[in-house]
Structure 1
Amino acid sequence: MPRFRMTVEYDGTPYVGWQRQDNGRSAQGALEAAVLSLTGETVSVRGAGRTDSGVHAVGQVAHVDLTRDWQPHKLRNALNAHLATAGDSVSVLDVMAVADGFDARFSALKRHYLYRIVNRPSRLALEAKRAWWVKKDLDHDAMHAAAQQLVGHHDFTTFRSVHCQAQSPVRTLDRLDVARNGELIEIRASAQSFLHNQIRSFAGTLKLAGEGKMSVGDVRAALEARDRKACGPVAPPTGLYFMKVDYPGDP
């Protein structure tokens, strides 16, 4: 069966997350429904990573096996037409035919995420579901310095959800940078894989560093504690974006 790789964008606001669930609409379910409507085939669309309810995606990657050997651009356009008709907040940005050995999840070399904080006194109107609004002035340089304590190969027990299903809390974090552009603070994270709630846990802890409530040493101590209680409050999902996935052979 021909296998197709899709790059997908979605607004996570109306969904229970990427993964198909019984308690509400999902981005994965929207894509599978579009495939069914288009081809009559009941398929499983496999994603590169799960996102929680309210988390957005700019470059989620998924793969699907179909019986027909579609021209990629026609498949993209047809799926988008069905998604639009269904009123889904999902868009297929790109489709390409791939070898049977390609797996959106297991072939991934690195995943990239962005967390957005709007740091200003006034509440958000246009971006209320697109960023975390923080009123108190944040020191982004202090946040960045604290973030560097988390880069590298560590046991991230402190920064993962108690519901995380990963067998090991050990991960290698390749990048965790904090930068400011006006009132917008961006936290960018890159790794081969992440634990459940890891980036939102980072963001909540780094916010405390930006407020002066945690020092660089405190953040390092929290990491080394390997204790969920040492983590700052988990940041809301609205500011998190799944940006990109790297695969062998990609430019």
Structure 2
Amino acid sequence: MSDDDQSQPLTSDSSKHSLNQLPEDPSPERPQKISRVDEENDAAEEAGNDCNNEIKMHPNPRIQRYLIAIEYIGTRFAGAQQQSNCRTVVGVLEEAFHKFIGQPVSIFCSSRTDAGVHALSNVCHVDVERISKRKPGETLPSHEPAVVRKAVNHFLQKNEGDIMVIDVRCVPFDFHARYKAQERTYFYRLLSGPEPLSTFEKDRAWHVTEELDLLSMQRACQVLVGCHDFSSFRAAACQAKSPIRTLDELNVTEVVSSLHFPSIKEREQSNSLVEDSSASSLRSESEVSHVSSITCQGKIDGSNVEPSQIFGMRKSHRCFVVTARARSFLYHQVRLLVGVLKCVGTGELTVDDVERILKAKTVTAASPMASACGLYLGHVKYDLPSET
């Protein structure tokens, strides 16, 4: 599930843990604090009471818990969470670990992304007991994180190559990837323009054929950011106990689209910068960097577009990225937010309409949900224990 970090029912494997955080003062004078407590209570109730039993159990000193950061293209996955008869992120990762250590493992993700949703960095944890393959009864010292990363990636690259471990760290036995997460950041990519979407961008962004008004979208974000009842922005299947969420950040930024290659004019300007900097010893490196950034911005603003289209060269789209950051999200919250922002950008909705939708507190008031293919889990933040 794409952006429902704390809100959907857990499977039996993932219902063993809970938050170990004390609720904040529920004073009516501190509404944002109340919302945070609501979010924490949702997560704690879903986790179940079995978590306390697990933490009280004396951990096996031969077992090492690893925190694993992974990136993946979600196109060929039926989501992150384990499912029978479907290719999932957790299933592929568990298979790679099994081949590495020679025994089955259970992996727990911080965020359960939907089918088609990508991750620049999702985080999970896994418990590993290193047993000798030559002498099955003999326990060996735990692998170093760098060894785990290299070995697991070796097996992952043999399985479609659309997932990779990017970081590994040893953590205490009671450190849970999902319930210790303090903040999650999602990105959503929209490509605007009438031209058909590039083959290289297929399933990587939402293609909007209309022009988008960036300023209007940014103004709409100001209505939505903060602590609100987001009932209008959660799917009907959402089972969170409370619709109250605190959206710490919501903004839209226009960026140079990925796989951007320099045009003739950009190459000429780049060369002229080098020549100018070589000719003038008075020009500082920071000044050259500043001019270079202006050149790049000019490309984004359209002021540096080629006067005529060259045969065989594709016309580029304008690329917009919506950033949403919060401790937790409701089911499909980000994609519903993007759907409304897109309609503001095309002129189908006004900023006042966004406020009306928010106050309606029903998902039927919202615009159609954005496609899964443009959503990326960007980062999961933790207060990690110091490494020993």
TM-score, length of structure 2 as denominator length: 0.63
Match of 1:47 among 91, 109, 130: 109
Amino acid at match of 1:35: F
**CA-to-aligned-CA distance 1:169-222 (integer Å, 9 cap, x gap):** 111110000111231001000000011111000111101100111111110110
Amino acid at match of 1:20: Q
Amino acid at match of 1:8: I
Write out aligned runs for 1:60-209 (5 A).
60-68=122-130, 69-125=142-198, 126-181=200-255, 182=300, 183-209=318-344
Match of 2:379 among 227, 238, 244: 244
User: Which structure has the highest helix share of the two?
Assistant: 2
**CA-to-aligned-CA distance 1:107-154 (integer Å, 9 cap, x gap):** 011000100001111111210110000010010110111011111111
1:87 is displaced (CA, Å) by: 2.4
Task: Kindly name which structure, 1 or 2, has the bigger radius of gyration based on alpha carbons.
Answer: 2
1:89 is displaced (CA, Å) by: 1.3
Rounded to whole Å, the distance in 2 between the matches of 1:41 and 1:162 is 39
- Whether the aligned pair in 1 keeps the contact of 2:186 and 2:379 (CA below 8 Å) is yes
**RMSD of the alignment, in Å?**
1.3
Q: Specify every segment of 5 or more residues in structure 2 that has no aligned partner in the other structure, as ranges.
A: 1-62, 131-141, 256-299, 301-317
Rounded to whole Å, the distance in 2 between the matches of 1:29 and 1:148 is 39
1:38 is displaced (CA, Å) by: 1.3
The corresponding residue for 2:74 is 12
- Whether the aligned pair in 2 keeps the contact of 1:30 and 1:88 (CA below 8 Å) is no
Rounded to whole Å, the distance in 2 between the matches of 1:249 and 1:163 is 33
**CA-to-aligned-CA distance 1:34-68 (integer Å, 9 cap, x gap):** 11111122221111111110000001011100002
The total of aligned residue pairs comes to 251
Rounded to whole Å, the distance in 2 between the matches of 1:167 and 1:29 is 29
Rounded to whole Å, the distance in 2 between the matches of 1:237 and 1:111 is 17
- Whether the aligned pair in 2 keeps the contact of 1:116 and 1:131 (CA below 8 Å) is yes
Asked if 1:22 is matched to 2:84, the reply is yes
Amino acid at match of 1:73: A
Rounded to whole Å, the distance in 2 between the matches of 1:146 and 1:2 is 46
Rounded to whole Å, the distance in 2 between the matches of 1:155 and 1:250 is 33
1:22 is displaced (CA, Å) by: 2.0
- Whether the aligned pair in 1 keeps the contact of 2:249 and 2:326 (CA below 8 Å) is yes
- Whether the aligned pair in 1 keeps the contact of 2:120 and 2:379 (CA below 8 Å) is yes
Rounded to whole Å, the distance in 1 between the matches of 2:207 and 2:159 is 31
Rounded to whole Å, the distance in 1 between the matches of 2:247 and 2:350 is 20
Rounded to whole Å, the distance in 1 between the matches of 2:324 and 2:85 is 30
Amino acid at match of 1:86: N
Q: Specify every segment of 5 or more residues in structure 1 that has no aligned partner in the other structure, as ranges.
A: none
Rounded to whole Å, the distance in 2 between the matches of 1:120 and 1:95 is 40
**CA-to-aligned-CA distance 1:149-171 (integer Å, 9 cap, x gap):** 11111111111111123222111
TM-score, length of structure 1 as denominator length: 0.97
User: Which structure has the highest strand share of the two?
Assistant: 1
Runs of 4+ in 1 over 6 A off after TM superposition: none
- Whether the aligned pair in 2 keeps the contact of 1:16 and 1:23 (CA below 8 Å) is no
- Whether the aligned pair in 1 keeps the contact of 2:189 and 2:320 (CA below 8 Å) is yes
1:11 is displaced (CA, Å) by: 0.5
Rounded to whole Å, the distance in 1 between the matches of 2:326 and 2:180 is 14
The corresponding residue for 1:56 is 118
- Whether the aligned pair in 2 keeps the contact of 1:204 and 1:233 (CA below 8 Å) is yes
